[in-house]
């Protein structure tokens, strides 16, 4: 008997880089640096994808979207989020809610949080109030504190699709 609920956790890190866009939660954020990566390096969406896949023990994003594949070069990570959603839907589950936290010193994200929630909700086709996006500094400690990059954490609760 399949469980009615499955919980997943995701984590990702990307390093800051010049001449790259900063894309977080599907939103382009004005800043002097972007994030390095094979895709658009949307670290928040990657952590959320990882949590969705992990909830059903489907492996991690690298297994489904390898950074060695030309298919995913510079890809918009909203496409990876949609693909991850298709995978869990195909297994009979939908996203009930997401909680996530970005760890970075700068830029300030509070003006963009609701935009990110709306973008993610729109891709997943669920209500924005089921998507929580938070941002915190690491009090200038560690690689995030040295402004070398951004870390993202996400937890996702999946529920069975109404049969």
Ligand X SMILES: C[C@@](CO)(OP(=O)(O)O)[C@H](O)COP(=O)(O)OP(=O)(O)OC[C@H]1O[C@@H](n2ccc(N)nc2=O)[C@H](O)[C@@H]1O
- From the annotation, which residues make up the binding site? 12-14, 38-39, 46, 60-62, 136-139, 143, 146
Select the residue whose beta carbon is closest to ligand X and give its number.
62
* Closest approach of ligand X to the CB of residue 122, in Å: 20
C-beta closer to ligand X: residue 64 or 160? 64
Residue ranges in contact with ligand X by CB under 6 A: 12, 37-39, 41, 46, 60-63, 65-67, 72
Half-sphere exposure of 120 (CA within 13 A, CB side): 32
* Residue ranges at the known binding site for a divalent metal cation: 12, 14, 46
Is 19 buried (19+), middle (13-18) or exposed (0-12) by CB count in 10 A? exposed
Name the packing angle between helices 113-124 and 43-55 (round to 10°).
40
Token code pair at residue 150? 């951004």
C-beta closer to ligand X: residue 72 or 112? 72
* Closest approach of ligand X to the CB of residue 93, in Å: 21
Furthest CA-CA distance within the chain: 51
* Closest approach of ligand X to the CB of residue 84, in Å: 10
C-alpha dist (Å) from residue 121 to 22, 41, 108, 118: 20, 19, 22, 5
C-beta closer to ligand X: residue 73 or 134? 73
Radius of gyration for the alpha carbons in the chain, expressed in angstroms and rounded: 15
* Closest approach of ligand X to the CB of residue 139, in Å: 26
C-beta closer to ligand X: residue 74 or 137? 74
Owner of token pair 């939660």: 25
């Amino acid at each position: 008997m399949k469980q009615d609920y499955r919980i997943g956790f995701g984590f990702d890190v990307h390093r800051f880089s010049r001449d790259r866009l900063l894309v977080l939660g599907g939103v382009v954020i004005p800043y002097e640096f972007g994030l390095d990566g094979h895709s658009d390096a949307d670290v928040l969406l990657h952590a959320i994808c990882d949590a969705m896949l992990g909830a059903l023990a489907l492996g991690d994003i690298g297994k489904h979207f390898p950074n060695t594949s030309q298919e995913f070069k510079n890809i918009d990570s909203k496409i990876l989020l949609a693909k991850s959603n298709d995978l869990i839907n195909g297994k009979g589950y939908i996203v009930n809610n997401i909680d996530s936290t970005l760890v970075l010193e700068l830029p300030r994200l509070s003006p963009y949080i609701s935009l990110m929630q709306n973008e993610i909700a729109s891709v997943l086709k669920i209500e924005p109030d089921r998507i929580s996006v938070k941002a915190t500094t690491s009090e200038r400690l560690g690689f995030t504190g040295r402004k070398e990059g951004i870390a993202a954490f996400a937890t996702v609760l999946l529920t069975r699709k109404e049969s």
